[in-house]
Amino acid sequence: MKMTMTQKILAAHAGLREVTAGQLINAKLDIVLGNDITTPVAIHEFKKAGFTDVFDKDRVTIVLDHFVPNKDIKAAEQSKTCREFACSHCVSHFYDVGKMGIEHALLPEQGIVTAGDCIIGADSHTCTYGALGAFSTGVGSTDMAAGMATGMAWFKVPSAIKFNLTGKLPENCSGKDVILTIIGMIGVDGALYKSMEFTGEGVKNLSMDDRLCICNMAIEAGAKNGIFPVDDITLAYLQDRSEREPVVYEADPDAEYEKVIDIDLAKIVPTVACPHLPENTHPASELHDIKVDQVVIGSCTNGRMEDMEAAYSILNGKKIADGIRCIIIPGTMQIYRECVERGYVTAFIDAGAVVSTPTCGPCLGGYMGILAAGERCIATTNRNFVGRMGHVDSEVYLASPHTAAASALTGYITEYKEA
Amino acid sequence: MNTQGKVFKYPDNVDTDVIIPARYLNTPNAQELALHCMEDIDKAFVKKVEKGDVIVAGWNFGCGSSREHAPLVIKTCGTGCVIAKSFARIFYRNAINIGLPILECEEAADEINANDEVSVDFDTGIITDITTGKTYKAQPFPPFIQNIIKAGGLLKSLKEAENK
């Protein structure tokens, strides 16, 4: 057997002893996910095809996160469609305002996804859960509809690129700088159709939040999934959280990889992806002439507790530069509450930032921080495509929470250096 | 099955945000969404596109978001086919699942010019540039995927299997 970790999980879910890259399989799904934008389309397709029941009410997860609290009447109608469907099918994992969070921060936090799972989600950043040692990938609404109806999905078994991580990150870097560096290295289609398997002794030096962030942006390199091995950090995270028993898969020692790329974490520097592609990366230190109008700290990439801690450590007791709008969005209600309890929210407000309830909002140009023509934002989000956060003539620079918070204090792109 | 029409040409890495900007995704209505197809890369597209026309693009077409609204608006506008050097994987899946014909062909994507008249035969994968007289052969789909396309999309193929 020469299977990668991803191939092992897929083989087990397809009921096969072995699979090879390129093979088409039908796999059993542990979780099927959708949000307030993709689920209405899935519901429409589900009904149109004549399906009446979901395969398992405990395995379908619907999270309202993109445009909630509803940004306008049409968004309210989409939320209503999801709510009514969830209610009529007794969907147990339905997350509405007050309970919701940004889906890819919420599902791991709530223990809905776990190690060894096979997961599809009608959201491209569903690849996030690979951090837990799961196979997890983004699909469209029709795949979601099929998954809800049958509990199965077809996959082409991917080949893999192995990233051998060594060393330990510098204090001012996090998982975001790692994944931006990798995307800069291999390009936005550098892992097209493939798995990105992260291994090596450096893994133990990456927190769960770092790993979730790294896997989250695997899609930005075109990957089918990103995945980390399960270690003590993973198991500690899953303990008392995971609804189902984690299943640990390991790559075979002789697993075949298309390529092996060595990454020395100690050599990572604060990295920024300039407009208009995530592969257009530069060290933050080389961009200090670039003035910004807005800073966004949040999203499914960087709205977790460690991201809030990074923002707090830099903004506490300081003032955001004149003329800069700083928007901070904790990823889930639990993180939001923690920020309130720890006094972060007060510190953010005193610094001159605004703190929103969880939403994808500005990341995809939905609401809560849309840019006008000619405006620039440094954001901890995941895409900097033309028009992504607003006007087609606006610009998004992608960075870590450290770099974004430091930039909020100066008004220019700034590499964070500890005082 | 085939299509014939004029070519709209686009570069590498056309993302789903420019195909259908998220600011319009507060409705699932395909007709309404289609009014904004390609808006952030080519404002004139929706005014000029006619039934059967062909989009020709570079590498990694449809990268970014998983929104199925992207292939859906391209199909709803009347576009007969998208030819690219490669497709982002979620877009590729979505196009097959909803029945938007797509073909991968590097040579055709390089050589076919904007506004050329092109015909595409999906059964054989033959692309003919009527303007230049050149023909190209695209990679055919594996039989598994051909079955989904023949059934008229993923859900119809599942229903067919269920009824057998």
* Token pair of A241 as six digits: 């959280």
pLDDT digits (tens, 9 = 90+) for A318-334: 999 999 999 999 999 99
Count up the domains in chain B and report the number.
1
* Alpha carbon distance A130, A119 (integer Å): 10
Task: Give ∠ CA A160-A162-A166 in degrees, rounded to 5.
Answer: 165
Chain B environment of A365 (Cβ under 8 Å): 17, 21-23
Using CA coordinates, name the residue in chain A closest to B14.
A385
Rg (CA), chain A: 20
Closest partner residue to A37 (CB to CB) among B40, B67, B97 is B67
Contact B139, B104 (CB under 8 A): yes
B114 close to A (CB below 8 A)? no
pLDDT, mean of residues B60-89: 97
Q: Do A74 and B66 touch (CB under 8 A)?
A: no
Beta strands in A207-301 (DSSP E): 225-227, 259-264, 271-273, 281-283, 294-297
pLDDT of A230: 98
Chain A environment of B21 (Cβ under 8 Å): 365, 387
Average pLDDT for chain A? 98
Q: How confident is the model at residue A419 (pLDDT cuts 50, 70, 90)?
A: low
pLDDT of B159: 85
Closest partner residue to A49 (CB to CB) among B63, B66, B156 is B156
A410: three-class secondary structure by DSSP = helix
Chain A environment of B23 (Cβ under 8 Å): 365-366, 370
pLDDT digits (tens, 9 = 90+) for B1-34: 789 999 999 999 999 999 999 999 999 999 999 9
User: Rounded to a whole number, what is the distance in Å from the CA of B1 to chain A's nearest CA?
Assistant: 23
Query: Pairing state of beta strands A376-379 and A354-355?
Result: unpaired
Query: Pairing state of beta strands A325-328 and A294-297?
Result: parallel
Contact A406, A418 (CB under 8 A): no
Chain A environment of B142 (Cβ under 8 Å): 24
Contact B56, B8 (CB under 8 A): yes
Give the residue from B59, B11, B5, B4 showing the smallest Cα distance to B38: B11
Phi-psi region of A296 (alpha: psi -120 to 50; beta: other; left: phi over 0): beta
A300 in a labelled binding site: yes
pTM here is: 0.97
* Alpha carbon distance A66, A139 (integer Å): 17
Cis peptide, bond prior to residue A69, ω within 30 of zero? yes
pLDDT, mean of residues A249-265: 97
Query: Pairing state of beta strands B102-104 and B81-84?
Result: parallel
Bigger pLDDT: B146 vs B46: B46
B86 close to A (CB below 8 A)? yes
Q: Do B66 and A38 touch (CB under 8 A)?
A: yes
pLDDT, mean of residues A383-408: 98
The partner residues of A33 in beta bridges, in order of sequence, read A61, A121
B126 close to A (CB below 8 A)? no
Placement of tokens 């020692």 in the chain: A253
Using CA coordinates, name the residue in chain A closest to B91.
A140
Chain A environment of B67 (Cβ under 8 Å): 37-38, 140
Give the residue from A163, A153, A171 showing the smallest Cα distance to A42: A153
In a mutagenesis test of the A interface, which of B14, B20, B24, B65 is the best target, namely the one with the most A β-carbons within 10 Å?
B65
Give the residue from A60, A72, A56 showing the smallest Cα distance to A35: A60
* Alpha carbon distance A392, A374 (integer Å): 9
pLDDT of B164: 73
Q: Do B66 and A192 touch (CB under 8 A)?
A: no
Q: Do A224 and B67 touch (CB under 8 A)?
A: no
A363 in a labelled binding site: yes
User: Rounded to a whole number, what is the distance in Å from the CA of B95 to chain A's nearest CA?
Assistant: 9
Give the residue from A195, A70, A369, A144 showing the smallest Cα distance to B67: A144
Chain B environment of A370 (Cβ under 8 Å): 23
Q: What is the dihedral of CA A100, A103, A106, A107, to 10 degrees?
A: 120
Give the DSSP letter string of A252-276: -TT---SEEEEEEGGG---EEEPTT
Q: Do B68 and A141 touch (CB under 8 A)?
A: yes
* Alpha carbon distance A133, A235 (integer Å): 10
B13 close to A (CB below 8 A)? yes
Residue A54 has pLDDT above 90, yes or no: yes
Residue B92 has pLDDT above 90, yes or no: yes
Phi-psi region of A65 (alpha: psi -120 to 50; beta: other; left: phi over 0): alpha
* Token pair of A100 as six digits: 């919701």
Q: Do B15 and A140 touch (CB under 8 A)?
A: no
Residue A339 has pLDDT above 90, yes or no: yes
Contact A378, A407 (CB under 8 A): yes
Closest partner residue to B26 (CB to CB) among A67, A141, A142 is A67
Q: Which domain holds residue B26?
A: 2-163
pLDDT of A74: 97
* Alpha carbon distance A312, A339 (integer Å): 9
pLDDT digits (tens, 9 = 90+) for A135-157: 999 999 999 999 999 999 999 99
* Token pair of A350 as six digits: 């005193």
**What CATH number should be reported for the domain holding residue B40?**
3.20.19.10
Cis peptide, bond prior to residue A276, ω within 30 of zero? yes
* Structural domains of chain A in order of their starting residue, each with its CATH number: 5-264 (3.30.499.10), 272-410 (3.30.499.10)
Average pLDDT for chain B? 94
- 3-state SS, one letter per residue, for chain B: CEEEEEEEECCCCCEHHHHCCHHHCCCCCHHHHHCCCCCCCCCCHHHHCCCCCEEEECCCECECCCCCHHHHHHHHCCCCEEEECCECHHHHHHHHHHCCCEEECHHHHHHCCCCCEEEEECCCCEEEECCCCEEEECCCCCHHHHHHHHHCCHHHHHHHHHHC
